[in-house]
A and B are shown apart, each in its own frame.
Chain A
């Protein structure tokens, strides 16, 4: 009983006070409850894929948005997780439930490797260098077709569960856990340090922060999450093929991350949840479904022109204001801050991109 009351008071004081947090709760509950009301396999499949891509996008945002290391080759970790898990479960017959973690571990190691190489690189150099790694990886995989299956990849990768709803819940729960975990990391002191490194690495080092360690750690964490997502996808589709490492996928996750709003974690997730089903819906039209990529690019461009900082920050700023005194967020309709009772003017819209409590 105590826990129930505790849960209720937490909800009331922390979540329901802000519209954005309430929405997130509604969304999470909705996802979990969906199969009970609407069991269409097609919708469940799309949402499963959306959840996996959302983990991927959120992991990119953690790396690029928070620590400023804009990774143009994030698909490397995604594909590494997928391939490693596929190879182990297919060739060695290990259980997928185990190989996913090993796949993620492989991705993490690669993350540390890439992070190490990129320690000396800054800005655009880092971005363009990271572009190279998935391509080199694809070259290597194609050079050993007996091991990796060549261009066709490996098929017949065992599923985690053959139950449609089971797969859905695995994806949803994995996403909620990983994304929430990444958000907690980002919102903690660790995230604060990452922001400091992003804004001015020299000053951070001068303050005594061991920046290489932080940069490597965030690479590792980001790669881990991406690796899990990749492994789950490979098992879901029963295929591990070069498309997991494509440059297009890397670019796509950059678009998702920035479209949703960098340095927010949930921005990337929201972007995937909005864009991926939308484009899939568009692609289902008989007469012009094949124009889906054009539609996607035009939408992204138009939204950017109106919301250059990203979709989620724009929406959130419409719903909430910042208290001038205590710098905490408040619902926009309040006239006084909920915490320090300072009067809230309508003009107190948050402006900077510094980390904020969400």
Chain B
């Protein structure tokens, strides 16, 4: 956090509002006071340094340096502020491109302002399907939006069921049970309802039995009620669909109760390094979807994750895909030989870019194309204080999935 402040201050001192030709300005928008914004900035800074050290981006025979504009969108607190931030970086700081965003409500508003101004906006955090659907509905207005990470909500759903299948397979092998029992623990929020319904429909077909659905509040500080009921129902898997702090509480309380069921699903808090400490060291075996780990998702992944950890002393979250976004822009600019957003749109639509977490290609909604070898995601499990990747099995470096001792 302090480091990024130093970098920003240093940059502000060295390149004071330089509008000089020879600079490509990219705005990095995010909730800078929070971990998501920090990751946005960290990934982008690493990319900027790598590019500038290698000489910059070639446009029309000239080499242009990359300059980043750090813009706090304040999106956690205020959606209007996020929209204002976009307006500010475009009209006052005169950036060429925008990357970032996290909270879907805010990004929907930010997207409007960026589209008003016809500037390329690469999303690095919001998963809501609507962001892509707009591109399809009103192409001419929204074509400047491309989502770099994460895969959209519906694709996350597809990944989840694939991993769930894998986990169920483990249970069948290890516990000799043919039909594992699944308890759905989904926070009460609009985004979970689709997944809950899909689970209730698909799981029986996958030879799993749904023993119940529980909906704690996203900010619940106590899930004893739910966990007691889940224990009584004899569940083997707790299918978590959680994004708020309830994910921490769930992990901790499951550990404190020595529950035999294993937690897997979406647990956004469990993706963070701080999760283990936040759950007071009790959240063993909690597993979740994630984006980065030291495994060979693409040939670049392991080296990049290690470099990131060394530089910033913590693991990258999916927001650090701003690195890929900046590199993607570099490739597009050099291919199109232009920094004009209009020229880059057709290039990006046809591009196939090997990133650190995925191979990026965009469909007609400008969402990352989903699938093994493209954008898929991984699944990780917390084992004794370490986040260990265990899926997809075909990627090199995966470790085995562990069940709580019975």
Contact = CB atoms under 8 A, between A and B. Distances in A.
Chains A and B directly touch (beta carbon < 8 Å): yes
Contacts of B11: 286
Contacts of B74: 283, 290, 292
Interface in B164-193: 189-191, 193
Interface string A42-64: 10011001000000000000000
A348 interface: no
A11 interface: no
Contacts of B31: 290
Contacts of B376: none
A42 B105 contact: no
Given A42-B92, A152-B128, A289-B32, A243 B87 contact: no
B22 to A, nearest CB: 20
Contacts, number: 91
Nearest to A291: B33
Contacts of A280: 81, 84
B64 interface: no
Contacts of B77: 248, 293
B104 interface: yes
Nearest to A52: B80
Nearest to A164: B116
A340 B7 CA distance: 65
B35 interface: no
Nearest to A280: B84
A284 interface: yes
Interface size class of B (residues with CB under 8 A): 35 or more
Contacts of B87: 41-42, 45
A238 interface: yes
A248 B77 CA distance: 9
A241 B78 CA distance: 11
Contact of A286 (B12, B81, B189): B12
B109 A237 contact: yes
Interface string B85-129: 101101110000000000011001100100001000000000010
Contacts of B297: none
Contacts of A149: 190
A290 B33 contact: yes
Nearest to A243: B79
Given A248-B77, A286-B12, A289-B71, A49 B33 contact: no
A238 B82 CA distance: 13
B105 A40 contact: no
Interface string A204-233: 000000000000000000000000000001
Contacts of B32: 289-290
B70 interface: yes
A239 interface: yes
A239 B11 CA distance: 35
Interface string A284-302: 1011111111000000000
B187 to A, nearest CB: 11
B72 interface: yes
Interface string A241-278: 10100001000000000000000000000000000000
B326 interface: no
Interface of A: 40-42, 45-46, 49, 145, 149-153, 155, 233, 237-239, 241, 243, 248, 280, 283-284, 286-293
